[in-house]
C-alpha cells in the first residue's frame, strides 16, 4: 500500500480572532465607535506548482476500462468503461527525482490493485525531449504475458520538464496505467489527472473561457473476426466553460496512433455542468457522437487556470466494438468569442 499521505489540494484558511473582557466593570458603557463600511480585501489564495520539490501522494479524477484475451490472436471480450470523480480510488506516490539510479518507489494503486516501480524499471527516462516518462516492469514475470506499465506526463521532475509548452503545465498532470494478468487473461487500462485543485472560493463566477487541451488515452477495438487492436489515442479537443451558467461544452476528434499511422477513431461531443460553489463537473457524450460515454472534470490552479478531465467511451466505432479510457489536460487561453 501507499504508506505516506501528502495532501496536495491547495486550501485557503481564514482565521478570525476575537477579543473579550472579563471581571466586574461598573463604569458606564462606552459609546461604540462607528463601524467601517469598507469591505476587507480577501487574502490571495496560494497554490503549489509543478515540478515537484519533494515526493507526494496524489489522488485523481480517473477513467478505466478492461478487456480479456490475447488481442493479437483475435477478438477480445470487452469490459465496462467508466469515470470517477476526484477521490483516492486511483492514487499515486510520485517521486520528485526520477533517474535510472532511483531506489525510492513510484507507486500506483487502484482500489486494492497496486504496482511499484524503481529506476531500474524506466523504459523512457524524463528529459525535455519527451512528453511522458514511462516505467515498465523489468523483472521477468512468473506468468507468461503478465506486465505492468505506468506513463506519466513529464512536468513533475525538476530540470527535466518537457519542452512541449502545451504540456509544461504547472498545476495539473496525469498518469496512465496499463497492465495484464497473463497472455489470455484480463488487462486493465486506467488514466487519471492530479495536481493542485482550484479552491472553491477562488472559482470564477462570470465569463465564458476556452481551454487549449491535449489528449492521452488508450482504445481497444474488438472486430467480429481477426486481431483486436490496443492503441494510444491522439487528436484535437475543443473545450469552453461558461462560469456564469456552469455550462461545459466539450468536443474531441480522436484518432488511434498505430504503427502504420493515425486511424480515425471518432468524434465525441458532450455537455456537462459545474454546480454553483463547486470545482468539479460531470458530463456525457450526446447524439451525433460516434459512441457513448462520460467525462469528469476538475479545475486546477488559481481561477481555474488549468483543467483536467477524464473520459470513458463505450460502443461501436469503425472496425468493431470498442472501449476507451483517457484524460485531457490543458490551460485557459482567452475568453471565448
Assigned domain for 230 exists: yes
- Mean pLDDT for the chain overall: 89
Nearest to 51 by CA among 102, 126, 104, 103: 126
pLDDT band at 71 (very low <50, low <70, confident <90, very high): very high
Residue 27 exposed, middle or buried by CB count within 10 Å (0-12, 13-18, 19+): exposed
Percent of the chain with pLDDT over 90: 82
User: Residues 176, 65: contact at Cβ < 8 Å?
Assistant: no
Assigned domain for 12 exists: no
- Mean pLDDT over 244-248 rounds to 97
CA angle 196, 199, 203 (to 5 degrees): 115
Q: Which residues of 113-138 are buried (b: 16+ CB within 10 A; e: fewer)?
A: eebbbbbebbeebbeeeebbbbbbbe
Tens digits of per-residue pLDDT, 115-146?
999 999 999 999 999 999 999 997 777 899 99
pLDDT band at 191 (very low <50, low <70, confident <90, very high): very high
- Mean pLDDT over 62-71 rounds to 98
Assigned domain for 36 exists: no
Assigned domain for 24 exists: no
Give pLDDT, residue 7. 34
- Mean pLDDT over 28-47 rounds to 60
- CATH number for the domain that contains residue 192: 2.40.160.90
Assigned domain for 4 exists: no
- Mean pLDDT over 20-33 rounds to 44
pLDDT at 196 > cutoff 80: yes
pLDDT band at 40 (very low <50, low <70, confident <90, very high): low
Facing residues of 217 across strands?
A: 326
Say how far apart CA 113 and CA 298 lie, in whole Å.
24
User: Residues 309, 190: contact at Cβ < 8 Å?
Assistant: no
User: Residues 78, 322: contact at Cβ < 8 Å?
Assistant: yes
Give pLDDT, residue 42. 60
Say how far apart CA 194 and CA 153 lie, in whole Å.
10
How far from 68 is each of 5, 183, 211, CA to CA, in Å? 33, 9, 36
**60 vs 276, which has greater pLDDT?**
60
Q: Give the E-state strand segments of 204-291 in sequence order.
A: 208-222, 229-242, 247-258, 261-274, 280-285
**What range does the domain containing 158 cover?**
56-335
Assigned domain for 50 exists: no
Q: What is the DSSP pairing of strand 113-117 with strand 106-110?
A: antiparallel
Tens digits of per-residue pLDDT, 298-307?
999 999 999 9
Give pLDDT, residue 33. 52
Percent of the chain with pLDDT over 70: 86
Give pLDDT, residue 23. 39
Tens digits of per-residue pLDDT, 212-235?
999 999 999 999 999 999 999 999
- Mean pLDDT over 93-108 rounds to 97
Please state the length of the chain.
337
Give pLDDT, residue 336. 60
Give pLDDT, residue 41. 57
Assigned domain for 45 exists: no
pLDDT at 31 > cutoff 90: no
How far from 216 is each of 193, 207, 327, CA to CA, in Å? 10, 28, 5
Assigned domain for 17 exists: no
| Domain count along the chain | 1
User: Residues 137, 109: contact at Cβ < 8 Å?
Assistant: no
Amino acid at each position: 500500500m501507499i504508506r505516506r499521505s501528502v495532501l496536495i489540494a491547495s486550501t485557503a484558511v481564514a482565521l478570525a480572532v476575537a477579543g473579550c473582557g472579563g471581571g466586574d466593570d461598573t463604569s458606564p458603557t462606552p459609546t461604540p465607535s462607528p463601524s467601517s463600511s469598507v469591505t476587507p480585501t480577501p487574502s490571495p489564495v496560494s497554490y503549489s506548482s509543478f515540478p515537484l520539490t519533494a515526493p507526494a501522494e496524489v489522488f485523481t479524477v480517473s477513467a478505466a476500462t478492461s478487456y480479456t484475451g490475447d488481442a493479437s490472436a483475435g477478438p477480445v471480450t470487452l469490459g465496462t468503461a467508466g469515470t470517477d470523480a476526484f477521490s483516492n480510488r486511483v492514487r499515486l506516490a510520485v517521486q520528485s527525482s526520477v533517474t535510472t539510479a532511483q531506489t525510492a518507489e513510484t507507486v500506483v494503486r487502484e482500489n486494492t490493485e497496486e504496482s511499484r516501480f524503481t529506476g531500474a524499471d524506466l523504459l523512457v527516462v524524463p528529459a525535455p525531449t519527451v512528453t511522458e516518462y514511462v516505467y515498465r516492469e523489468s523483472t521477468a514475470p512468473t506468468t507468461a504475458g503478465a506486465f505492468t506499465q505506468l506513463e506519466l506526463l513529464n512536468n513533475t521532475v525538476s530540470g527535466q520538464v518537457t519542452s512541449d509548452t502545451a504540456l509544461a503545465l504547472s498545476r495539473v498532470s496525469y498518469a496512465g496505467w496499463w497492465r495484464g494478468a497473463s497472455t489470455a487473461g484480463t488487462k486493465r487500462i486506467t488514466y487519471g489527472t492530479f495536481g493542485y485543485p482550484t479552491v472553491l472560493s477562488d472559482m470564477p463566477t462570470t465569463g465564458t473561457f476556452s481551454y487549449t487541451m491535449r489528449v492521452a488515452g488508450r482504445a481497444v477495438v474488438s472486430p467480429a473476426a481477426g486481431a483486436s487492436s490496443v492503441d494510444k489515442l491522439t487528436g484535437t479537443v475543443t473545450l469552453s466553460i461558461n462560469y456564469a451558467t456552469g455550462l461545459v461544452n466539450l468536443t474531441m476528434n480522436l484518432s488511434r496512433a498505430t504503427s502504420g499511422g493515425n486511424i480515425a477513431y471518432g468524434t465525441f461531443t458532450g455537455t456537462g455542468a459545474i454546480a454553483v460553489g463547486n470545482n468539479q463537473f460531470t458530463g456525457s457524450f450526446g447524439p451525433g457522437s460516434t459512441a457513448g460515454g462520460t467525462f469528469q472534470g476538475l479545475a486546477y490552479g488559481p481561477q481555474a487556470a488549468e483543467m483536467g478531465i477524464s473520459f470513458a467511451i463505450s460502443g461501436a466505432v469503425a472496425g468493431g466494438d470498442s472501449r476507451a479510457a483517457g484524460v485531457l489536460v490543458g490551460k485557459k487561453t482567452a475568453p471565448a468569442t
